[in-house]
Amino acid sequence: MDVFDGIATKLDVRQFGPQDVPSEVKQSILEAARLTGTGLNTQHWRFIMVEGKDRLKKLAEDSTSGAWVAEANFAIIVLTNPKYKFHMIDAGRVLQSMQLAAWNRGVASGLFTDIKEENLRNDFAIPQELNITLTVGFGYPAGKLTGRKKDRMPLGELVYYGKYGNQMTA
Ligand SMILES: Cc1cc2nc3c(=O)[nH]c(=O)nc-3n(C[C@H](O)[C@H](O)[C@H](O)COP(=O)(O)O)c2cc1C
């Protein structure tokens, strides 16, 4: 898939079908994470692969905005080190890498950020020094995604030319 097409067609999905994602596709998603750049090449992030109904259910219970992850085929918890001021930028980059690598193989994904931190740390043995930055759930989408459209502002409302407030003309 062309990179631009991937960006243009990817939606965040919260409903997944029952089919298993092959391990080779999972591996390519993890590889995409590994290959993504971090500030100063620190590679401070760590990833927890979560598979199996019981563990996904536990992950859903430990979230306050991601109950849907219980139905995902697998999930990846992204941990970053807050001692680096750019750690959240790194998290955003790796999230997009993994989501696009997945979508390239027809695998949809969604993320959540709101958690019951104490519970999640205990249930997944996450050390205190790492920030639990986000979790992505993956799976084949349930049903067709063709009915859903992106809801985005037009460029004219987002982009200025030269200085803030200057209209950009095409
Ligand atoms: C920083 C960030 C945090 C998000 N947190 C959640 C979340 O906690 N739960 C959730 O279901 N979706 C979450 N989302 C998904 C957004 O709701 C989604 O990206 C947005 O609605 C656009 O979706 P679309 O690309 O399908 O149009 C989050 C997205 C981002 C970028």
Domain membership flag for residue 170: no
Indicate which CATH number applies to the domain containing 149: 3.40.109.10
Ligand 1, atom 4, residue with closest C-alpha: 112
Dihedral sign (CA 90, 91, 94, 96):
negative
Beta bridge mates, 47 = 78
Examine residue 86 and state whether it is found in any structural domain, yes or no: yes
Let me know if residue 28 belongs to a domain. Answer: yes
φ/ψ of residue 139, rounded to 5? 170, 170
pLDDT at 102 exceeding the cut of 70: yes
Q: Which ligand 1 atom minimizes the distance to the CA of 14? A: 11
Residue count of the chain: 170
* Whole-number pLDDT of residue 148: 80
Edge-to-edge strand ranges of the sheet holding 108-112? 46-51, 74-80, 131-139, 108-112
Q: Is 11 in the pocket of ligand 1 (CB under 6 A)?
A: yes
Residue of 11, 12, 109 with the most ligand 1 atoms within 8 Å of its CB, for mutation: 12
User: Could you tell me the residue range of the domain that residue 142 belongs to?
Assistant: 3-158
Flag whether 121 is in a domain.
yes
d(CA 130, CA 124): 12
C-beta of 85 in contact with ligand 1 (< 6 A): no
Whether residue 89 is predicted with pLDDT greater than 70 in this model: the reply is yes
Q: Which two tokens stand for residue 136?
A: 């992505």
Whether residue 144 has pLDDT greater than 80: no
Read off the pLDDT of residues 104-136 as tens digits, 9 standing for 90 and up.
999 999 999 999 999 999 999 999 999 999 999
Per-residue model confidence (pLDDT) at position 149: 87
Mean pLDDT of 69-77: 98
Which atom number of ligand 1 is nearest to the Cα of residue 13?
A: 26
Kindly state the tokens that stand for 110. Answer: 């969604």
Does 164 map to a domain? no
Instruction: Place 100 in a pLDDT band, splitting at 50, 70 and 90.
Output: very high
- 148: which 2 tokens? 């859903």
Our answer on whether the CB atom of 150 is closer than 6 Å to any ligand 1 atom is yes
Q: What is the mean pLDDT of the chain?
A: 96
Sign of CA dihedral 131, 25, 31, 96: negative
pLDDT(81) > 70:
yes
Ligand 1 atom closest to Cα of residue 95: 31
The rounded distance, in Å, linking the Cα atoms of 120 and 66 is 13
Closest CA to ligand 1's atom 20: 12
- Cα(63) to centroid(ligand 1), Å: 14
Tokens of 4: 């631009």
Tens digit of each residue's pLDDT (9 = 90 or more) over 24-59: 999 999 999 999 999 999 999 999 999 999 999 999
* 65 falls within a domain: yes
Is 163 within a domain?
no
The pLDDT of residue 146 is: 64
Q: How many CA atoms lie within 13 A of 111 on its CB side?
A: 17
Number of folded domains that form the chain: 1
Cα 112 to middle of ligand 1, angstroms: 7
In a domain, 135, yes or no: yes
- The count of C-alpha atoms lying within 13 angstroms of the C-alpha of 167, restricted to the half-sphere facing its C-beta, is 2
- Closest residue to atom 15 of ligand 1, CA basis: 111
